[in-house]
Amino acid sequence: MLRDVVITGDNGTIDGQGSVWWEWFTSHSLNYTRPHLVEFVSSKDVHVSNITFLNAPAYNIHPVYCSNVHIHNVSVYAPPGSPYTVGIVPDSSDNVCIEDCNISTGHDAIALKSGWDEYGIAYGRPTTNVHIRSVHLQSSTGSSLAFGSEMSGGISNIQVEHVHLYNSFIGIQFRTTKGRGGYLREIIISDANMLNINLAFSAIGDYGSHPDDKFNPNAFPSLEKITLHDIIGKNIIMAGNFSGIQQAPFKSMCLFNISLSMSSTFSSCWSCSNVSGYSKMVFPEPCADLKNSNASLCFSILMRPNGRGGSGAIL
Give the model confidence (pLDDT) of 152-175 as tens digits: 999 999 999 999 999 999 999 999
Q: Are 53 and 190 part of one and the same domain?
A: yes
Residue 91 belongs to domain with CATH number: 2.160.20.10
203: confidence class by pLDDT, cuts 50, 70, 90: very high
Q: Are 58 and 175 part of one and the same domain?
A: yes
- 310 within domain boundaries: no
Q: Are 31 and 111 part of one and the same domain?
A: yes
The enclosing H or E element of 136 equals strand 127-139
Q: Are 295 and 157 part of one and the same domain?
A: no
Q: Are 21 and 99 part of one and the same domain?
A: yes
Q: Looking at per-residue confidence, does 312 or 143 come out higher?
A: 143
Mean pLDDT of all residues belonging to the chain: 93
**How much of the chain, in percent, has pLDDT values that exceed 90?**
89
Strand partners, 253: 226, 277
296: confidence class by pLDDT, cuts 50, 70, 90: confident
- 94 within domain boundaries: yes
Residue 125 has a CB neighbour count (10 Å cut-off) of 17
Residues in Cβ contact with 274 at an 8 Å cutoff, skipping those fewer than 6 apart: 205, 243, 244, 245, 246, 249, 250
Domain boundary among 159, 189, 210: 210
The pLDDT value recorded for residue 266 is: 66
Q: Could you give the dihedral angle defined by the CA atoms of residues 199, 201, 204 and 208, in that order, rounded to the nearest 10 degrees? A: 60
CA distance 39 to 303: 33
Q: Are 178 and 276 part of one and the same domain?
A: no
314: confidence class by pLDDT, cuts 50, 70, 90: very low
CA distance 148 to 185: 12
Domain range for residue 251? 244-301
The enclosing H or E element of 119 equals helix 117-123
Answer whether residue 138 shows pLDDT above 60. yes
The pLDDT value recorded for residue 295 is: 85
Instruction: Map residue 296 onto helix, strand or coil.
Output: helix
The pLDDT value recorded for residue 221 is: 96
- 313 within domain boundaries: no
* Mean pLDDT, residues 131-146: 98
Domain boundary among 210, 235, 256: 210
Q: Are 200 and 286 part of one and the same domain?
A: no
The pLDDT value recorded for residue 292 is: 84
Q: Are 70 and 197 part of one and the same domain?
A: yes
Q: Are 43 and 4 in contact (CB under 8 A)?
A: no
Q: Are 92 and 150 in contact (CB under 8 A)?
A: no
Q: Are 34 and 183 part of one and the same domain?
A: yes
Quote the pTM value: 0.94
- 154 within domain boundaries: yes
Q: Are 151 and 252 part of one and the same domain?
A: no
HSE of 180 in the Cβ direction (CA atoms, 13 Å)? 29
267: confidence class by pLDDT, cuts 50, 70, 90: low
Residue 199 amino acid letter: L
Number of domains in the chain: 2
Answer whether residue 311 shows pLDDT above 70. no
- 237 within domain boundaries: no
Answer whether residue 96 shows pLDDT above 70. yes
The secondary structure of the chain in percent helix, strand, coil, rounded to multiples of 5, reads 10, 55, 35
- 221 within domain boundaries: no
HSE of 165 in the Cβ direction (CA atoms, 13 Å)? 37
Q: Are 68 and 25 part of one and the same domain?
A: yes
- 231 within domain boundaries: no
Instruction: Map residue 284 onto helix, strand or coil.
Output: coil
Q: Are 192 and 70 part of one and the same domain?
A: yes
Answer whether residue 303 shows pLDDT above 50. yes
- 232 within domain boundaries: no
Answer whether residue 14 shows pLDDT above 80. yes
